[in-house]
Amino acid sequence: MKIIVGISFFCMSQFLVGQTIIPVSTYENTTSIENFSTGGGMWITTRPPSSAIKGTPYLFNSWYNFTKIYIDNKSYALNSVNYNLDKDRFEARFSNDSVLVINLHNVKKIEIRKKILKPFFDPDIQSVTFFEEIFNSEILLLKRHSVKIREGNINPMTLEKIRPDEYIKKFNYYLKKDENSSLEKVSLKKSTILKLFDQDYKSEIKEYAKEENLRFKNETDLIKILRYYNKLKK
């Protein structure tokens, strides 16, 4: 993950005071708006999205996303944040042409549109990046969002594009079995998931999934199965 160099505390704090950043009391230690700038960041001037590429590189199509950012033991609320999957960074928009790239150093987690994203070391890219937390108990199930550009079709006669390039959003699932283990990419298959459970509970899990018509490859159904497994072990 690239660490964004902090900009001037004075300039930043003067700008932020008038914006939609407010401290929230999720932790015992709340903080002032000005102190948000000590985490650093970088202002960038945005450009209109390229009309040559269809779609968006951002996780959400809209910027109206209520967000909480947890830095050390403090937390902040913002109204206009998005995750740039192409640049692998979170951005806070304050106007159409002014965006703050958030410094992710010391960020513990980010809650955005009820999604919880936390930093983990990604073995595929050999760097720390943010994963969506899908289920967190004895088994930690994570989701890694990414984006790629699919090249459009070209007319071989005119050499002109008949279909534009397009951003294609992708995701992969990962498991973390304990605090000291590394992330492991997994596919949501019945055989793969059942290997995670203690042998004593596998029959009950399969029976429960059958009775409730739950599919292991469906994320929502899988969360129900994992919760049921936790209940069995208590």
Is residue 33 in a domain?
Answer: yes
User: 139-193, pLDDT tens digit by residue?
Assistant: 899 999 999 999 888 877 777 777 888 999 999 999 987 777 889 999 999 999 9
User: Is the pLDDT at 13 greater than 70, yes or no?
Assistant: no
Instruction: Determine the average pLDDT of the residues in 32-59.
Output: 65
- Residue bearing the bigger pLDDT, 34 or 102: 102
User: Is the pLDDT at 105 greater than 80, yes or no?
Assistant: yes
Is residue 51 in a domain?
Answer: yes
Q: What is the number of structural domains in the chain? A: 1
Nearest to 131 by CA among 106, 87, 121: 121
Most confident stretch, 26-40, 174-188, 204-218: 204-218
Is residue 2 in a domain?
Answer: no
Tracing tokens 């071989």 back to the chain, one arrives at: 156
Backbone φ and ψ of 29, nearest 5°: -95, 100
Name beta bridge partners: 10: none
Bridge-based pairing of strands 107-112 and 115-122 is antiparallel
CB within 8 A of 159, min separation 6: which ones?
A: none
Owning domain of residue 50: 9-186
Q: How far apart are CA 46 and CA 69, in angstroms?
A: 22
Backbone φ and ψ of 207, nearest 5°: -70, -40
Nearest to 122 by CA among 142, 139, 137: 142
Is residue 213 in a domain?
Answer: no
Q: Rounded mean pLDDT of the chain?
A: 80
Which pLDDT value is given to residue 142? Answer: 97
pTM reported for the whole predicted model: 0.79
Query: If 0-12 CB within 10 Å is exposed, 13-18 middle and 19+ buried, where does residue 180 land?
Result: exposed
Whole-number CA gyration radius for the chain = 21
Is residue 103 in a domain?
Answer: yes
Q: How far apart are CA 114 and CA 80, in angstroms?
A: 14
Residue 38's pLDDT band (cuts 50, 70, 90): very low
Residue 37's pLDDT band (cuts 50, 70, 90): very low
Nearest to 138 by CA among 25, 19, 228, 48: 228
Which pLDDT value is given to residue 46? Answer: 62
User: 61-96, pLDDT tens digit by residue?
Assistant: 999 999 999 988 888 888 889 999 999 999 998 877
User: Is the pLDDT at 215 greater than 70, yes or no?
Assistant: yes
- Residue bearing the bigger pLDDT, 77 or 234: 77
Is residue 28 in a domain?
Answer: yes
Is residue 226 in a domain?
Answer: no
Nearest to 68 by CA among 37, 123, 1, 22: 22
Residue 47's pLDDT band (cuts 50, 70, 90): low
Is residue 47 in a domain?
Answer: yes
**Strands, sheet with 81-84, edge to edge from the N-terminal-most edge strand:** 41-44, 98-102, 89-95, 81-84
